[in-house]
Structures are given as structure tokens and as C-alpha cells.
């Protein structure tokens, strides 16, 4: 009679363990990447940012992590940029609605707006005041807003 075959060498066990760990690691990386991708897609889909009191949305560039009470418009914006009630002129903008470049919302008749003196661009008061807390330029043309 022939002797029984030798048991499998320990090397085969080490290779099996390495392959198993490789698959588990790949699965963890895949799940993590998918989760990050889904979170990014959801954030983009859910909208640009919080709403202001007037209901206009604010883009991420204009949103600050500071408490809303701590955010105040620059004194220059309050004194040199007068606020007025928007009234469209005949034939203004070729019949299309004026858009606030900060919140990307339409500027409607009767809403309070500010017009930058240097470039004459018009924005909702709350939107441009919040913008000017962090920037000193027009959101559209980057001219100095003073």
C-alpha cells in the first residue's frame, strides 16, 4: 500500500488568507467611495444653500459658518449703497426678469434692492449685504463695490 498523501502545506493557507484579505479590503474601499460619491450627489441635488428670511436661496460662496446675528453688512454698504423698491423700466432686459446673481432668484417688482454705484448691477438687499460681508467686489463683474 502507498502512504497517504501529505496534508496541504501551510503556504496554501497563507495564500488563501491573503486573497481573502485583499477582497475584504477592496470591498471596504468600494463601499467608502460609493458612500462619498452618494453624499456629494445628494448635497448637489438638495440645493445650493439655506434660505434667507425673504425666501431667496444663498449659494455656498455667500454662506458663512458664523452665527446669523454676527453677520452684519459693511457700514459702507449701508451708507453708500441706497436701498430702494425695485420697479422695472419699460423694455428693461428685453422683457426678461432681472436676476440676483447672489441667490440666482428673480428680482420682482416691489422687492427691496441695492444698486452698486460702480457697475449699476442690482441685487436683493439681503443678498448683497451678506455678499459684501465677505467680498468687496461686485459678484458679476468684480468691480469694487464701494
Average pLDDT over every residue of 116-136: 90
Give the pTM.
Answer: 0.45
- Closest by CA to 120, choosing from 74, 89, 95, is 89
The pLDDT value recorded for residue 52 is: 57
Residue 80 to residue 117: CA distance in whole angstroms:
8
Question: Is position 54 within any domain?
Answer: no
The CATH number of the domain holding residue 82 is 3.30.40.10
- Residues spanned by the domain of 35: 7-46
Contact 67, 20 (CB under 8 A): no
Domain count, the chain: 2
The pLDDT value recorded for residue 89 is: 73
Q: What is the pLDDT of residues 69-78, one digit of tens each?
A: 444 554 555 5
Average pLDDT over every residue of 41-67: 58
Question: Are residues 68 and 126 located together in one domain of the fold?
Answer: yes
pLDDT at 126 over 60: yes
Question: Are residues 23 and 77 located together in one domain of the fold?
Answer: no
> Phi then psi for 54, rounded to 5 degrees?
-80, -5
Question: Are residues 75 and 34 located together in one domain of the fold?
Answer: no
Question: Are residues 26 and 84 located together in one domain of the fold?
Answer: no
Cell numbers given for 54: 425673504
Question: Are residues 95 and 119 located together in one domain of the fold?
Answer: yes
The pLDDT value recorded for residue 23 is: 97
Going from the C-alpha of 143 to that of each of 2, 10, 96, 117, 128, the distances in angstroms are: 94, 74, 24, 10, 14
Amino acid at each position: 500500500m502507498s502512504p497517504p498523501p501529505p496534508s496541504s502545506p501551510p503556504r496554501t493557507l497563507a495564500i488563501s488568507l491573503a486573497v481573502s484579505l485583499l477582497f475584504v479590503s477592496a470591498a471596504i474601499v468600494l463601499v467608502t467611495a460609493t458612500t462619498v460619491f452618494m453624499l456629494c450627489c445628494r448635497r448637489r441635488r438638495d440645493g445650493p444653500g439655506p434660505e434667507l428670511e425673504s425666501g431667496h436661496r444663498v449659494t455656498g460662496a455667500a454662506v458663512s459658518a458664523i452665527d446669523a446675528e454676527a453677520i452684519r453688512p459693511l457700514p459702507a454698504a449701508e451708507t453708500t449703497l441706497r436701498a430702494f423698491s425695485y420697479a422695472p423700466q419699460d423694455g428693461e432686459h428685453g422683457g426678461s426678469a432681472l436676476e440676483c446673481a447672489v441667490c440666482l432668484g428673480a428680482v420682482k417688482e416691489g422687492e427691496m434692492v441695492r444698486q452698486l454705484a460702480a457697475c449699476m448691477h442690482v441685487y436683493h438687499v439681503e443678498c448683497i449685504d451678506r455678499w459684501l460681508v465677505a467680498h468687496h467686489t461686485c459678484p458679476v463683474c468684480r468691480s469694487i463695490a464701494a
